[in-house]
Amino acid sequence: MTSPNESNKDISSDNTEVNTNAPEKQNSLLAGIIERATKSGIGRKKLNPSAVESAVAKNMADIHSNPTKLRLAFLGGGSFGTAMANLAARNGCDTTLWVRNKRTVKAMIKTQTNKKYLPGYKLDDSLKYSHDLAAAVKDKDIVFIAVPGLAFRETLKNIAPFISGQSIVSLTKGMEKDTFAMMSDIIKDELPEVNFGVMSGPNLAIEIMKNMPSATVIASESEPLRHAVQAALHSAFFRVFASDDVKGVELGGALKNIYAIAMGMAAAYDVGENTKAMILTRALAEMSRFGVESGANPLTFLGLSGVGDLYATCSSELSRNYRIGNMLGRGMSIEAAVKKLGQTAEGVNTIQQVHEKATKQGIYMPITHALYAVIYEDKAALGVALHLMEAGFRSDVEFVMAHDHSNAALTAQMKTSSDSTDDESGDTDSK
Ligand SMILES: NC(=O)C1=CN([C@@H]2O[C@H](COP(=O)(O)OP(=O)(O)OC[C@H]3O[C@@H](n4cnc5c(N)ncnc54)[C@H](OP(=O)(O)O)[C@@H]3O)[C@@H](O)[C@H]2O)C=CC1
Ligand SMILES: O=C(CO)COP(=O)(O)O
């Protein structure tokens, strides 16, 4: 029997990954799927759902019975990259997890755990580890990227010389600093020729490690890539749904982090269930409004990557963004909270990016602006919350009934009458 450590032979003594794939296997499974999809016509725009389903079922059956496995690399040795690589390895894919720190790689090979980010969870025997980026990425079908948003462009630049036919899938839920770029924008900038997708959904890494049933969304314009990702990661514990709204899916994952911080902060103030429901639903209104301005389909925000992830992150202490908000609500500074967390909380940067972009473009994002005022302008949380509650009349779902002039007129009328009531009562505080 192979011992756990013997199965990680891709790291030689000089820490170079050994490619165990025979040259005759270079004709990748993904290429096979693309060819089959093209031949059977499932790449056409108008799809026949049952034909697609049976083609996918055949692809999936082939993947499970065919010894030629999908060859995958996961870049980023944090909690999510590790959890996803583990799922793929467990599904029988030839999977390498790339981690930037050489000593961490050695420790992972030895212990088959990710001691820093997922302590106590044993990883699959077949999972390989590497800190050699070129070797990890070369000859793979799909390269999944799970580094923090602030390191995404640098990571793409580093792998660019080794990318030939591989597809790229972003697992990152961030936004680039100062450029407002999403990960798909960065992929298009840095690797304009590649086939790419983004994956996002309510996927708290620890719950996935515990085999708690979960689901996610792979969004790509490439149908074969969507199928390949579904086949690679799908299991009895993890369902992978598909979408072709790349912008909508990745915005769902990035924007919900803002509201997870708001909800963590609200929890510190012991708010009631009505209040939580109000924040969550108005957050969804902001997300879909911002999404539409960015070219996304608002209906995508009703899916797993929108309302699904918003719910999971806004209601769980497993969410790092929620925990940041909770620490802020208990009086800690943002710097101290980030330091104490010691892990990625994308929302901290996303609030600043979205606040700035929404201000520039005139997109109505009151919760985001309020949170920005509390965190970065040192405004008192209760005063800001009260101001939010007094913010005039709006329609509930603006894609059903537009927020039109009558709302604005009514708001102005109410403001005038409340100002005159204040005058009559001799209230001079505001003068
Ligand atoms: N955790 C979760 O439940 C989920 C996370 N995500 C998203 O996945 C992305 C990664 O998050 P997650 O895995 O949780 O993060 P973690 O904080 O758990 O880990 C971050 C990882 O990225 C590495 N890293 C940091 N900077 C660089 C860099 N410049 N180059 C290469 N590697 C780097 C860190 O290495 P080191 O330890 O050496 O610093 C560490 O391995 C985020 O965008 C997050 O929103 C998505 C779904 C769920
Ligand atoms: O995105 C996540 C779950 O879907 C993880 O959320 P945090 O980054 O807040 O931990």
CA distance 73 to 5: 19
Range(s) for CATH 1.10.1040.10 in the chain? 258-418
Query: Each residue of 174-206: pLDDT tens digit?
Result: 999 999 999 999 999 999 999 999 999 999 999
Q: What is the mean pLDDT of residues 342-361?
A: 97
- Which residues does the annotation mark as catalytic? 256
pLDDT of residue 411: 67
Does residue 158 register a pLDDT over 60? yes
Which backbone phi and psi does 248 adopt, to 5 degrees? -65, -45
Q: Which two tokens stand for residue 28?
A: 């990748």
What the block records as the tokens of 344 is: 């990625």
Instruction: Encode pLDDT of 23-68 as tens digits.
Output: 333 335 555 554 444 444 333 333 344 444 454 455 545 555 553 4
pLDDT of residue 69: 83
Mean pLDDT of the chain: 85
- Give the integer Cα–Cα distance in Å for 425 and 431: 13
Mutational pocket test of ligand 1: of 74, 97, 100, 313, the residue with most ligand atoms within 8 Å of the beta carbon: 100
User: Which ligand places an atom closest to the C-alpha of 203?
Assistant: 2
In terms of pLDDT, which residue wins out, 12 or 31?
31
Per residue in 124-157, pLDDT (tens digit) is 999 999 999 999 999 999 999 999 999 999 999 9
To test the pocket of ligand 1, the residue of 117, 147, 157, 319 to mutate (highest count of ligand atoms within 8 Å of its CB) is 147
Indicate the pLDDT class of residue 418, thresholds 50, 70 and 90.
Answer: low
Superfamily of domain 69-244: NAD(P)-binding Rossmann-like Domain (3.40.50.720)
Q: Which residue has the tokens 């011992």?
A: 3
pLDDT of 269 > 70? The answer is yes
Ligand 2 midpoint to CA 319 (Å): 5
For 144-272, where are the alpha helices, taking DSSP H only?
Answer: 152-159, 183-190, 205-209, 223-233, 246-268
- Written as six digits, the tokens of 187 are 């992929």
pLDDT band at 402; cut points 50, 70, 90? confident
Ligand 1 site: residues with CB under 6 angstroms? 76-81, 100-101, 116-117, 146-149, 151, 154-155, 171-174, 203-205, 343-344, 346
Which residues are CB-contacts of 26 (< 8 A; sequence separation ≥ 6)?
139
Asked if the model's pLDDT at residue 421 lies above 80, the reply is no
pLDDT band at 249 (very low <50, low <70, confident <90, very high): very high
The strand pair at 128-130 and 214-220 is best described as unpaired
pTM of the model: 0.84
Give the distance from CA 122 to its chain's centroid. 24
User: Rounded to whole angstroms, how far apart are CA atoms 117 and 316?
Assistant: 17
Between CA 127 and CA 133 the distance in angstroms is 16
Q: Say if the ipTM goes beyond 0.90.
A: yes
Check if 305 has its Cβ closer than 6 Å to any atom of ligand 2. no
pLDDT at 164 over 70: yes
pLDDT, residue 259, reads 98
DSSP strand pairing (94-98 vs 71-75) = parallel
Task: Name which residue sits closest to atom 20 of ligand 1, judged by CA.
Answer: 78
Between 298-302, 305-309, 392-396, 416-420, the lowest mean confidence (pLDDT) is in 416-420
Tokens 């899938």 — which residue? Answer: 169
pLDDT of residue 426: 41
Write down the CATH superfamily of domain 258-418. Answer: N-(1-d-carboxylethyl)-l-norvaline Dehydrogenase; domain 2 (1.10.1040.10)
| String of DSSP letters for 327-353 | HHHTT--HHHHHHHH-S--THHHHHHH
Q: What is the mean pLDDT of residues 298-304?
A: 97
What pLDDT sits at residue 25?
35
> What is the spatial distance between Cα 322 and Cα 209, in angstroms, rounded to a whole number?
20
Tell me the CA distances in angstroms from 153 to 7, 22, 419, one per residue in order.
32, 32, 51
According to CATH, where is 3.40.50.720 located in the chain? 69-244
Other Cβ atoms closer than 10 A to 316: 17
Distance from residue 388's CA to the centre of ligand 2 (Å)? 26
* Centroid of ligand 2 to alpha carbon of 347 (angstroms): 10
pLDDT by residue (tens digit) across 225-237?
999 999 999 999 9
